[in-house]
């Protein structure tokens, strides 16, 4: 094999004093060879981004690498002055960020932003720069490069913007490309295209690619080598084939086990067929007023939506961003007023109710939102927020508090959590609290609006399990809104697939995912990364090497503190 372009040897980055662990990254060693995609996998807080930032010389001031070397093209970049490092950045090493929305400057055309790289690092003439830029746009497979060249970022879609970011990174043909979760913020089909682009780049350019991600399916799709990180340390590294199919370390096994998968038919728990909620011909359009420069626009967010949910059922509503699922949810909980149609619950059509009439029915439908950080009021204790609902419906506080205590147990949190503030909890715990808050008023339908999308896989798994248990124990009906097909497949009984505000396909999970009829469903399914990877059954793998197990046991989670 050729010499590696990047060798990280024994790298340790210290966290400031009083951090939750002494080192952000500890004794990390990785090699990246040309034409190789190395995936760094780990959950949030595992130090994977710190590794890429160190290599790029973009560490926040509070963090300092204390030992080790990062050898890039024969020189240790940790010893470079900031100015020398800046010279390397963009020309020899380049980075692609997670958020294509904020990685581009909205004040300049994308053409200007790509050309800036040439301006900084080369002495090409204006015409040459433009020619090169157009060629780049072509290379990242953007349609009509000339038009894109003079567009502003806000005129492009997320996927197109990410391609621009990639084009900027590729401008000077760097020998190292660092991609930090480049597809996490994108839709499934866009993600598939971008991943495909990465694979092509590996063939065409000689660059080594460091690909930071949390998603094992993405790893399975593109990785040559995998590095699994946990709390700043490498727990396992090897070729993709090895790590994915024969993981050795218990932590890797746990992560792979947590990857959501189809778990066969789950309809068994549904015994009765009692209609809980029925949605008939629901329509919602948004009008934007025209101005002198802009024609007025009408957007059909929901077009003639019909579905029925039965007691104890989990109905998945699947679609990409802009498919109208969020608007549908807002109409169901009446945060938006539907234009026409009915939402029948308990025999009453609540779609056109006035706020006063609606009030008693609010109890019946509750919701858990996506963002665990935005959905709890930071200035009120958990208990105070939990009893809010019952108090609004006329219950007395002490009584409600009793139920809050019981619910804390159900969502597996300690009772004194009730007297704490949201900031003291992690994302997964907050999501449990949100579930408890929704359950406080004993709803019939619980809407989970992307409720697990922002969580790490292992936490995600726990929350999904909890949702399933609660549904079975309480006879709850769950509307599960998600863009993640794997999660939908794992938890839902029936599915509706939405596209552009319409339901394009419906049926049970086996029908929809096993024999999709609509083109859009087929497209979505084929865009799913990691299809060639059969997730190994962890229980059938040979037992963990006792040495590794000891190591895992010897650093209990107490070390996190």
Partner 1 sequence: MSETSITSASTEKKASAPKKQKTPVHQLSPRAKMLHRALRHKGLLFGLFVMAIIVIVALFAPLLAGHDPYSQSLLARMKPPVFLGGTWEHPLGTDALGRDYLARLVYGARISLLIGLIAATISACIGTFMGVLAGYFGGRIDLIVTFFINVRLAMPVVLVALAVVALFGGSLLVVVSVLGLLLWDRFAVVMRAATMQVRKLEYVAAAQVLGASLPRVLIKDILPNVMNHLIVIFTLEMAHAIILEAALSFLGLGVQPPTPSWGLMISEGKEMLLFESWLITIPGIALFFLVLSINMLGDGIRDVTAPEGRN
Task: Rank residues 333 and 544 by Cβ distance to partner 1 and give the closer one.
Answer: 333
Least Cβ distance, residue 433 to partner 1 (angstroms)? 11
Which tokens hold the place of 171? 């401008």
Contact assessment for residue 326 and residue 406, using Cβ atoms and an 8 Å cutoff: no
Task: Rank residues 327 and 385 by Cβ distance to partner 1 and give the closer one.
Answer: 385
Rounded to whole angstroms, the Cα distance separating 346 from 360 reads 11
Kindly list the distances between the CA atom of residue 437 and the CA atoms of 199, 231, 388, 432, in Å, as whole numbers in the listed order: 45, 31, 9, 9
Contact assessment for residue 90 and residue 116, using Cβ atoms and an 8 Å cutoff: no
399 binds partner 1 (CB under 8 A): no
Instruction: Determine the length of the chain.
Output: 561
Least Cβ distance, residue 45 to partner 1 (angstroms)? 4
49 binds partner 1 (CB under 8 A): yes
215 binds partner 1 (CB under 8 A): no
Rounded to whole angstroms, the Cα distance separating 287 from 553 reads 59
Distance of CA 80 to the CA centre of its chain: 35
335 binds partner 1 (CB under 8 A): yes
Site for partner 1 in 243-272 (CB under 8 A): 254
Kindly list the distances between the CA atom of residue 472 and the CA atoms of 151, 261, 441, in Å, as whole numbers in the listed order: 52, 20, 17
Least Cβ distance, residue 102 to partner 1 (angstroms)? 16
Which tokens hold the place of 388? 């809010």
Q: What is the DSSP letter of 153?
A: G
Least Cβ distance, residue 39 to partner 1 (angstroms)? 17
Rounded to whole angstroms, the Cα distance separating 82 from 459 reads 39
378 binds partner 1 (CB under 8 A): yes
What is the C-alpha end-to-end distance of the chain, expressed in Å? Answer: 41
Distance of CA 53 to the CA centre of its chain: 21
Stretch that binds partner 1, among 111-119, 169-177, 186-194, 450-458 (CB under 8 A): 450-458
Query: Out of 60, 73, 144, 534, which residue is the one contacting partner 1 (CB under 8 A)?
Result: 60
295 binds partner 1 (CB under 8 A): no
Rounded to whole angstroms, the Cα distance separating 518 from 149 reads 35
446 binds partner 1 (CB under 8 A): no
Q: Which of 470, 464, 465 is nearest to 439 (CA)?
A: 470
Rounded to whole angstroms, the Cα distance separating 456 from 87 reads 36
427 binds partner 1 (CB under 8 A): yes
Site for partner 1 in 7-26 (CB under 8 A): 15-21, 24
290 binds partner 1 (CB under 8 A): no
43 binds partner 1 (CB under 8 A): yes
**Number of residues counted as binding partner 1 (CB under 8 A):** 66
Query: Out of 2, 265, 424, 526, which residue is the one contacting partner 1 (CB under 8 A)?
Result: 424
Rounded to whole angstroms, the Cα distance separating 382 from 395 reads 18
Distance of CA 441 to the CA centre of its chain: 30
Residue 265's CB is within 10 A of a number of other CB atoms, namely 10
216 binds partner 1 (CB under 8 A): no
76 binds partner 1 (CB under 8 A): no
376 binds partner 1 (CB under 8 A): yes
Query: Out of 136, 279, 282, 459, which residue is the one contacting partner 1 (CB under 8 A)?
Result: 459
476 binds partner 1 (CB under 8 A): no
Least Cβ distance, residue 60 to partner 1 (angstroms)? 7
Interface with partner 1 by CB under 8 A: which residues?
15-21, 24, 43-47, 49-50, 60, 62-63, 231, 254, 333, 335, 359, 362-363, 365-367, 369-371, 374-380, 385, 388-389, 392-393, 412, 420-421, 423-429, 434, 437, 440-441, 455-456, 458-459, 462, 556-557, 560-561
């Amino acid at each position: 094999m050729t010499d590696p372009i990047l060798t990280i040897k024994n790298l340790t980055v210290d966290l400031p004093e009083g951090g939750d662990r002494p080192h952000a990254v500890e004794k990390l060693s990785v090699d990246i060879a040309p034409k190789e995609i190395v995936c760094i996998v780990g959950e949030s807080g595992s130090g994977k981004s710190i590794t890429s930032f160190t290599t790029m010389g973009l560490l926040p001031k509070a963090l300092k690498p204390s030992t080790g070397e990062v050898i890039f093209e024969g020189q240790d970049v940790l010893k470079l002055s900031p100015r020398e490092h800046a010279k390397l950045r963009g020309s020899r090493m380049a980075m692609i960020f997670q958020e294509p929305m904020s990685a581009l400057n909205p004040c300049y055309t994308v053409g200007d932003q790509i050309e800036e790289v040439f301006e900084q690092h080369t002495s090409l003439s204006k015409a040459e720069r433009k020619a090169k830029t157009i060629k780049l746009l072509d290379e990242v497979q953007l349609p009509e490069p000339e038009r894109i060249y003079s567009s502003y970022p806000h005129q492009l879609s997320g996927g197109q913007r990410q391609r621009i970011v990639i084009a900027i990174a590729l401008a000077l043909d760097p020998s190292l490309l660092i991609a930090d979760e480049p597809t996490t913020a994108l839709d499934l089909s866009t993600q598939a295209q971008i991943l495909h682009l990465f694979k092509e780049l590996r063939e065409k350019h000689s660059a080594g690619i460091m690909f930071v991600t949390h998603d094992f399916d993405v790893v399975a799709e593109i990785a040559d080598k995998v590095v699994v990180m946990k709390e700043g340390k490498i727990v396992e590294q090897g070729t993709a084939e090895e790590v994915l199919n024969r993981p050795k370390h218990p932590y890797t096994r746990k992560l792979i086990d947590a990857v959501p998968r189809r778990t066969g038919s789950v309809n068994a728990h549904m015994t009765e067929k009692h209609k809980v909620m029925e949605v008939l011909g629901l329509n919602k359009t948004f009008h934007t007023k025209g101005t002198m420069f802009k024609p007025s626009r009408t957007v059909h967010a929901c077009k003639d939506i019909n579905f029925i949910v039965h007691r104890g059922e989990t109905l998945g509503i699947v679609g990409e961003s802009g498919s109208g699922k969020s608007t549908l949810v807002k109409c169901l909980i009446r945060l938006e007023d539907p234009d026409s149609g009915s939402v029948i619950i308990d025999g009453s059509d609540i779609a056109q109710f006035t706020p006063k009439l609606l009030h008693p029915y609010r109890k019946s439908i509750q919701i858990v939102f996506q963002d665990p950080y935005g959905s709890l009021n930071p200035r009120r204790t958990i208990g105070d927020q939990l009893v809010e609902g019952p108090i609004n419906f006329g219950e007395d506080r002490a009584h409600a508090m009793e139920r809050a205590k019981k619910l804390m147990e159900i969502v597996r949190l300690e009772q004194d959590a009730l007297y704490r503030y949201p900031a003291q909890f992690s994302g997964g715990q907050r999501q449990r609290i949100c579930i408890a808050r929704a359950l406080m008023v004993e709803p019939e339908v619980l809407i989970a609006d992307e409720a697990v999308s922002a969580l790490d896989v292992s936490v995600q798994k726990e929350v999904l399990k909890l949702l399933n248990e609660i549904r079975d124990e309480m006879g709850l009906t769950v509307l599960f809104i998600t863009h993640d097909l794997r999660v939908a497949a794992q938890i839902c009984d029936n599915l509706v697939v939405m596209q552009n505000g319409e339901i394009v396909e419906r049926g049970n999970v086996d029908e929809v995912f096993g024999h999709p009829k609509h083109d859009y469903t087929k497209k979505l399914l084929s865009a799913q990364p990691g299809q060639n990877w059969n997730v190994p059954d962890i229980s059938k793998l040979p037992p963990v090497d006792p040495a590794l197990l000891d190591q895992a046991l010897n650093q209990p989670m107490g070390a996190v503190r």
